[in-house]
Amino acid sequence: MNKWASKLEHRIISNWIDTGASVLDLGCGDGDLLTSLIREKQVHAQGIDLNDHAIQNCIAQGLSVLQEDIDKGLSEYSDSFFDYVILNQTFQQVKKPDFVLREALRVGKKIIVGFPNFLYITARLQMFFRGKVPVTPSLPYEWYDTPNLHFLSIADFKEYCKKRNILIERSAFTAKNKTVLLLPNLFAETGFFLLSK
């Protein structure tokens, strides 16, 4: 995961995190985000991923990482165990996103999510004019090889948070490695949210 994680994305997430905080990164991939958070914010970092190579790369970077399936929950961690739980490019790929998000909100005082916006304008145009499932920089896969199991827009996610009484403290949007300020549901490839209960 974190395949398209750019410096900008890392900067957005890093800006939302307090120095010295404890951080759990669900679907931490090769651990690049955690490594930059340790460097910039001196966080106490813990990663979880299922992929063999991801685990080995994390350990090679000196990170603490657990090879586990986040769909099975985080039951060993007590409530508010971490200051932040991060789901960057992760929860659209889990089997039970609702469950995983609720678990993340339970064990984290705050959570940060980042996901590709399925209704980004390029995707909309591809669907409308080409009549095909979109392939974009933030959704680079063909229908037959995508790890993404759930497709959602920024508007969908905001509605979900409202329904679940999740507070959106901050949000940020990006496209083509730049910040998007106008009509994010249309012009953003990726959305980031800082959430709390």
Shortest Cβ distance from residue 38 to other proteins (Å)? 11
Shortest Cβ distance from residue 78 to other proteins (Å)? 8
CB nearer other proteins, residue 66 or residue 127? 66
* Dist CA 22 CA 28 (whole Å): 15
Neighbour tally for 18: CB within 10 Å: 12
Shortest Cβ distance from residue 67 to other proteins (Å)? 5
Q: Is 66 in the site for other proteins (CB under 8 A)?
A: yes
Neighbour tally for 30: CB within 10 Å: 24
Shortest Cβ distance from residue 50 to other proteins (Å)? 10
- Residue 129 is given by DSSP the state I
Q: Which of residues 130-189 bind other proteins (CB under 8 A)?
A: none
Stretch of 5-13, 48-56, 111-119, 179-187 contacting other proteins, by CB under 8 A? 48-56
Q: Is 68 in the site for other proteins (CB under 8 A)?
A: yes
* Dist CA 67 CA 155 (whole Å): 33
Choose, by CB under 8 A, the member of 37, 55, 166, 172 that binds other proteins. Answer: 55
* Dist CA 52 CA 146 (whole Å): 19
Beta strands in the chain (DSSP E): 22-26, 44-49, 65-67, 82-88, 108-116, 167-175, 178-179, 190-196
Q: Is 62 in the site for other proteins (CB under 8 A)?
A: yes
Q: Is 67 in the site for other proteins (CB under 8 A)?
A: yes
Cα 42 versus chain centre, distance: 20
Q: Is 100 in the site for other proteins (CB under 8 A)?
A: no
Binding site for other proteins (CB under 8 A): 46, 52, 55-56, 58-68, 76-77, 81
